């Protein structure tokens, strides 16, 4: 289990279990919710 921080809200999430993740600017990013992922995606380039 790898704990990472959601870059939008700062919540700690399990990178192996979250359904909300994506590759942005060539780097994997993990989120606590779809709304945080959507906010992040609005300002970052998807890979």
Token pair for residue 10? 């700062």
pLDDT of residue 46: 81
Residue 36: inside a domain: yes
Q: Evaluate whether residue 27 is within a structural domain.
A: yes
In the prediction, which pLDDT does 40 show? 96
Number of domains, the chain: 1
Residue 29 lies in a domain: yes
Range of the domain at 29: 3-41
Does residue 47 fall inside a structural domain?
Answer: no
Residue 20 lies in a domain: yes
Global confidence as pTM: 0.89
- Helix boundaries (H) for the chain: 34-41
Asked if residue 46 is part of any domain, the answer here is: no
Mean pLDDT split into 10-residue runs, the chain, 47 residues: 94 97 94 97 86
């Amino acid at each position: 289990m790898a704990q990472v921080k959601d870059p939008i809200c700062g919540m700690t999430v399990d990178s192996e279990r979250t359904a909300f993740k994506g590759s942005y600017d060539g780097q994997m990013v993990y989120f606590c919710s779809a709304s945080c992922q959507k906010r992040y995606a609005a300002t970052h380039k998807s890979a």
